[in-house]
Each structure stands twice: as C-alpha cells, then as structure tokens.
Structure 1
Amino acid sequence: MKKSLIALAFGTLGLGIAEFTMMGILSYVAQDLGISIPVAGHLISAYALGVCCGAPMLILARKRPLKQTLLALVLLMIIGNLCASAAPNYWVLMAGRFISGLPHGAYFGVASIVAGKLADEGKGSEAVSIMIAGMTVANLFGVPLGTSLSHTISWRVTFLLVVFWGLITLYYIYRWVPQVENLKDNGFKGQFRFLKSPAPWLILGATALGNGGVFCWYSYVNPMLTEISGFQTSSMTALMVLAGFGMVVGNLVGGRMSDRYTPGKVGTVVQGMIGVVLLLLFFFSPNPWCAAILMTLCTAGLFAVSSPEQVLIIRVAPGGEMLGGACVQIAFNLGNAVGAYAGGLAVSEGYRYPALCGVPFAFIGLLLFLIFYKKYQHKF
C-alpha cells in the first residue's frame, strides 16, 4: 500500500473522530457547560453546517497546487479543534465546531482527486477507498477512544486528540504525498458547469437519500439494540466496534469491486442491499444475533457505497472535480440530518420503526442509482 494514500487516510481519520465523537461526549459537554442535551446537540449541527459552507471554499483554491490545498485544510482542522478544546463557553465551542467542519467536505474533494492521480492503473476506486478508510477506522477505534478520554479525563482532551492527530497528518502529507499535476482552471463559472447535467444530481440524490435511509435507523441504534434486541448496556461498546468493523470491511470491498466491475453497478447493488437489510432489521431486530449481524451488514453497506459515489461524482464533474467531490460530503451530511429527523418521528411507534422509516429512503436512492447506471454509466 502506498505511503501517500496512508497519509491521505490519516486526514479522514482525524475528520472522522472530530465529526462522530461528538455523539459520544454530548452529555459530558452539556454537564460541564451547564446546558441541556438538546442545546448541546446543536454542536453536531454546527459541524454539519461547516461542512456545507466549506465546500465552496475550493473555488477560491482552484489555482493552488493540490498538495498545498490539502495542507491548508488540515491546518484549518487543527485550528478548529484547538479552539473547541479551549472553549470557555458554549458559543466559542459552537464556533470551534463550525470551523472544524469547514475543511471536511473540501478535504474529501481534494484528497479523492489526489488519490486517483496517485493510483496504479485500474486501481482508482480502490485508492479512493483507502483514503476514505480513515473515516471507518475513526468509527472503529477513534470514537470509542475519544469517548473513553472524555469519561476518564475531560471532553476537552478528545478535541486535543484530534489536534495531535492533525499535526501528525500535516507532517506525513508534507513528507509522503508528492506534488501532483494541477487541475485545469476553467474559471469561476466553469466550476459549476457540470451541474447542468442530470448525472451529478442523480449521484448526489442517491447519496443523500441512501445515507438518509441508513441514518433513520443508525441514529437510534443504541436504544434499538437495548430495548428491542435485549442487549445489556455494557455490551454497547463491543457492538459499536462491530459496527465499525463492518464499515472498514465494506469500504475496502466496495472500492475493490468498483475497479473490477463499475462504480455504478456496485453502488446500485449495494444500495439495494441496504434497503433489504433495513427491512429485515424491522422484522428480525428482536432476535439479538440477527440484529447484530444485520447491523454489521448495514454499516458495511453504508461505506461500501461511499467510494463508488466519490469516484462517480468526480467523473461526472469535468471542470469542477474538487467542488463535485466536496458536494458528495454535503449530500452525505444532509442525508444524515434528514434521516435522523425522520427516524426520530418514527421512534414514537417504537425503536423498530426507524429502520422501516429508512426503507423508502434507501429504495428511492436505489432508483436514482439505477437510472444513472442505465443512462450514464457507459459515458464514464
């Protein structure tokens, strides 16, 4: 495995910890700052808002060398998390979370292009999946570690962990990632020209709705596993590690299969699998073994579809590749937010129902993928 791709994955690992660990430390932050859990939950939204606002920054960096842009984005991640770790009050922490989210989508957009340029011939999707792997490892190890540090020391140490990791990432991107050929500058308007075609909208729609379907259920996975499946609370750490393991395996398999077949075909098949698994979760979640296996399959599917989506959006965005790559992360976060909200409405019927609520999201995502595969895959 190329060291340059590992360096890129270091960046997504740091971003993954920064994004997802907030869910595990929310109660510690609320208690320390004297705010309610719902108010503290706005800190999650602040990060997502930063992701959405950060993507357009790439338009300003379109003439800069790609490696230089990567270094600047990692530096911004460090600044945001340093601000969060030292925040004296809620509003400064809110600002720190917003700043931390700014480089997220932009980093994925630039790193996907760099990974593709560094890949061996015919291995472009696999290279992108290695870059994305840092996000899955964050869920497997980084988030449990951050939660543990918050419990034993302070939630501020969790953000310092991201700062420390950001410094390591900065060093290894500088050392291991070579200068790559810059993208052709098509001017300001040229960055948006790809949006005139239906193809990128199909990919972005499939991303938002497909991920939204998963997060209808995954946002409430803990109460489902304890209240419906009958797992003890003490088992949740092991179950979350199992879910993270599914993400790691799914991401790497999805990338490799996309090179062997096509990203459109893999995305379509996996999206269909996600819809079926969510339906099975609704019926079989009362059985603990079935619930654990289906949970792992669903988290595997969530990231098995990620690298095909990231690869496809770059291919369908000529002249605006960086913006397109970042837009996938906007769609991903938008889907997370909508899915969590819709799943929350279904919770009133019981903790099995968020999975059922996610099924139509997943199958509409499948339909969009299928239309793309039939109409546009042969062009890319």
Structure 2
Amino acid sequence: MSPARRRTTLAILAIAVGGFAIGTTEFVTMGLLPQIAEGTGVDIATAGHYVSAYALGVVVGAPLIAVAAAKVPRKGLLMGLMAFFAIAHLAVLAADTYPTVMAARFLAGLPHGAFFGIGSVVAASLVSHQRRTAAVAAILGGLGVANVVGVPVATLLGQRFSWHLPYVLVGLIAVVTVVAIGLFLPHQAPSGDESMRAEMQALRRVQVWLALLIGVVGFGGMFAMYSFITPTMTELAGLDERYIPWVLAAYGVGMVAGMVLSGRVANRVGVLKGIIGALGLIAVLLAVFGWAAQTLWLAVVMVFVLGLLPSIVVPLLQTRLMDVAHEGQSLAAALNHSTLNTANALGAWLGSLVLAAGWGYGAPSLVGAGLAVLGVGVAVLSAVVERRSRAAHPPEAQSRPASVTSARA
C-alpha cells in the first residue's frame, strides 16, 4: 500500500471511530431502556422519550451546524463536533432525573448529523468517483461495528454496574476520535465565501426533499420496532434479559454486512433501484416480525436481517443526496442524518403510542411495515420524477460539460 493510500485509509478510519462512538450511544439506550427507566423513575413507554430526545438533537443540530459552519475548515469542524460530543456525554454523570436525562440526550445528539454528513463528504473527496459509496459506507460502518461490539458491551456494563457508565465510555472514545482526526486527516479547506449560500441552494431541489422524505418514512418503520427491542424480545420471544447483548450483536453483524453490500448494490443495480428494493424487503420483514418473534431462533434471525437491510439503504441514500444536491452536498449529507433521526423520533413515538394503547409488543412492527411501504412509494415517485426530468432534456444538452452535473439530478 502506497503512503498516500495508507494515509487515506487512516483518515477514513479516524472518522469511522467517531461513527463507532455515535453508533454506540444511539443504540445503547434501546438496550438499557428498562434500567434507565428504573433509574429515572419512569415507565418504559416514557423512557422511550430518551430515544426521541437524542434523535431530536440530531434533527436540530444537523442543518444548523452544516450551514452555520460552511466556511469552517472541515478538519477543524470535525474535531470540534467530536469534542462537544465528548463533553455532552461526560456530563451525563450529573443526570439522574427525567428532565436532566432528556436535556443530556438532546445535547449529545446535536453534533451527530453534521459529523456524519461532513465526514461523508470528506471521505468521498479522498477517493475516486467510483468508490464514493464504498467510502461513505466505511464511515457509516462505524455504526455497524458499534452494534457488534460497542452496544452489546456497553449494554452488559450498564446492566451490571450503572446505566451512566456506557455514556461515559462513549465520551472517552470521542476524545480518542478528536486526536485521531487531528493526526491523520489532511487539511480540508472551506468551500469559500459563497459556500453558505451554495449549501442552501440544495433546499430548492425537489429530488433533495424526496430523498429526505424517503429517510423519514422509510426508516421510521425500522425504529418503531427496534426502539423497543429489549421488551419485545423478552415478552414475545421469552428471552432472558441477560442475553439481550447477544441479540444486539446479531443486529450489529447485520449492519456490518449491509454496509459491505451497499457499495456492490450501488454498482450493480443503481442507487435508487437499490433503495426501492431494500425498503420493500424491510416492509415485508416488519409485517411478519410480530409473528416470527414468538419463536426465539427466528426472532434472532429477523433481528439480523433488520440490521442488514437498512444498512444497505443508508449509504445509498447518502450518495443519492450528494448527487442530487450538487453544490449543497455538506448540508444535504447532514440532513440525511437529521431525517433518519426524525425517523428515529417518529418511530419511537408511534411505537410508544401503540404500546400505551395496550396493543402489545407485536404492534410496533406493523406500524413500521406501513411506514416502510410509504418509503417505497416516495422512492418510486422520485424515480418517476427523475425519468421525466431526463426526458425533458435533449441528449445534446446532457453531453455538454456545464450540464453533466445537472443530468445526474
């Protein structure tokens, strides 16, 4: 491996470590929901709000940071985001009531979307055009590894010692990320004086909004079920709570497999077709999950597949947004995580509604199946709009250099 290739690999790996920290904190709450509920004196349905609080922090932080920091050098911005993330997690030691935990989780979520969005743009800029989706998948692969190692280990530590401990460990990993980015990531200059205005131009494109809507409704379905994975597995599958970390690990293995497959799917069937196909399979999976979860081994298999399919979609959706956003790539890429966490908040909220209504732990997955079907519909609409847009432009216009970028929209 050449020195340049090695430095690129280390730079991407440094950002992926931040993804590992983010993935651990995002999903460990779901594994420790009973312990956090007991520790803060609320029921499990109310504790689901802690998941939503983090997600709402992502929703708010991603677009604001991406636009406000458009002129900031990307390397320094990534380091600053991880430093804030670390402080927010270490501060959880002082949180032990519903309001304080809600506030801590909201603050912890603020850097999430901007870090992944800007990190994805940086990773894509370090490799060839054909390797963009693979580079983005490598960054997001930190999420998958977190669910294989970070979430199960953190859940186990939280069960045996204190639910505060996993969040403190995440804060320490974030500190390591700051150091690694400082060492290995090359200087990333800001876009220029007009970069803030350019980023905002992305919001004028219909395809950007359609891609974001795919994330909101399509992934809301997955989170409607997964937000309550611990009580679902203990109540429906009859699994002893001490084995929950292994179930979370199965989900994480599925995520890693999905991230690996995502680049291949993009190259073989195309980005948008891959999104449509994977979302359709997610809808089918969620439709039968409540029934399948009553058989333990089948429930574990379904959890693995539930990790795999959405993880194929996320890098595809990230690439899609960067393609259709043109000069507003940083904002669009950050908004992808904002919308995915809107889906997180929406799914957790809808799941808590059906549980509070007494419909049982099989109901959230049915709600999720409906949302996934809506996601397929939005993706199909996006494909139709794109086809009509291409038909409206003559081939000669698409061949001119100035129109190459537009033709990809």
With the length of structure 2 as denominator, give the TM-score of the two structures.
0.85
- 1:134-283 to structure 2, matched below 5 A, reads 134-186=142-194, 188-283=196-291
Q: 2-side partners of 1:298 and 1:35: how far apart?
A: 28
Matching residue of 2:369: 359
**Percentage of identical aligned residues:** 32
Query: Kindly tell me: are residues 120 and 26 of structure 1, through their superposed partners in 2, closer, same or farther at Cα, counting changes over 3 Å?
Result: same
Asked if structure 1 preserves the Cα contact closer than 8 Å seen for 2:202 and 2:331, the reply is: no
Matching residue of 1:20: 27
Deviations 1:67-89 (A, max 9, x none): 11111111111111122234476
Q: Which is worse superposed, 302-311 or 313-322?
A: 313-322
Q: Which is worse superposed, 282-291 or 269-278?
A: 282-291
Q: Which is worse superposed, 233-242 or 264-273?
A: 233-242
Q: Which runs of 5+ in 1 are unaligned?
A: none
Q: 1-side partners of 2:124 and 2:348: how far apart?
A: 32
Q: Which runs of 5+ in 2 are unaligned?
A: 1-5, 391-406
Q: 2-side partners of 1:356 and 1:93: how far apart?
A: 30
Q: Is structure 2 residue 95 aligned with structure 1 residue 98?
A: no
Counterpart of 1:65, as a letter, is P
Matching residue of 1:10: 17
Asked if structure 2 preserves the Cα contact closer than 8 Å seen for 1:126 and 1:258, the reply is: no
Q: 2-side partners of 1:88 and 1:223: how far apart?
A: 22
Deviations 1:166-217 (A, max 9, x none): 1111111111111235435535443222222210111111111111111222
Asked if structure 2 preserves the Cα contact closer than 8 Å seen for 1:86 and 1:156, the reply is: no
CA drift of 1:90 comes to 5.5
Counterpart of 1:79, as a letter, is I
Q: 1:52 aligns with which of 55, 59, 73?
A: 59
Q: 1-side partners of 2:302 and 2:98: how far apart?
A: 38
The alignment partner of 1:286 has SS state of coil
Q: Is structure 2 residue 308 aligned with structure 1 residue 312?
A: no
Counterpart of 2:12, as a letter, is L
Asked if structure 2 preserves the Cα contact closer than 8 Å seen for 1:47 and 1:97, the reply is: yes
Matching residue of 1:108: 116
Asked if structure 2 preserves the Cα contact closer than 8 Å seen for 1:271 and 1:305, the reply is: yes
Q: CA RMSD in A?
A: 2.4
With the length of structure 1 as denominator, give the TM-score of the two structures.
0.91
Where does structure 1 differ by over 6 angstroms across 4 or more consecutive aligned residues? none
Q: Is structure 2 residue 125 aligned with structure 1 residue 117?
A: yes
CA drift of 1:260 comes to 4.0
Q: 1-side partners of 2:361 and 2:41: how far apart?
A: 29
Query: Kindly tell me: are residues 25 and 293 of structure 1, through their superposed partners in 2, closer, same or farther at Cα, counting changes over 3 Å?
Result: closer
Asked if structure 2 preserves the Cα contact closer than 8 Å seen for 1:125 and 1:307, the reply is: yes
CA drift of 1:268 comes to 1.4
CA drift of 1:273 comes to 1.2
The alignment partner of 1:351 has SS state of coil
The count of corresponding residues between Structure 1 and Structure 2 is 380
Q: Is structure 2 residue 123 aligned with structure 1 residue 128?
A: no
- 1:23-42 to structure 2, matched below 5 A, reads 23-32=30-39, 40-42=47-49
Query: Kindly tell me: are residues 68 and 19 of structure 1, through their superposed partners in 2, closer, same or farther at Cα, counting changes over 3 Å?
Result: same
- 1:268-307 to structure 2, matched below 5 A, reads 268-307=276-315
CA drift of 1:14 comes to 0.9
Q: 1-side partners of 2:336 and 2:157: how far apart?
A: 31
Deviations 1:124-182 (A, max 9, x none): 00000000011121122112222222233333332221121011111111111112354
Q: 2-side partners of 1:60 and 1:353: how far apart?
A: 41
CA drift of 1:310 comes to 1.1
Asked if structure 1 preserves the Cα contact closer than 8 Å seen for 2:66 and 2:114, the reply is: yes
Q: 1-side partners of 2:269 and 2:17: how far apart?
A: 28
Counterpart of 2:300, as a letter, is A
Query: Kindly tell me: are residues 24 and 288 of structure 1, through their superposed partners in 2, closer, same or farther at Cα, counting changes over 3 Å?
Result: closer
Counterpart of 1:76, as a letter, is F
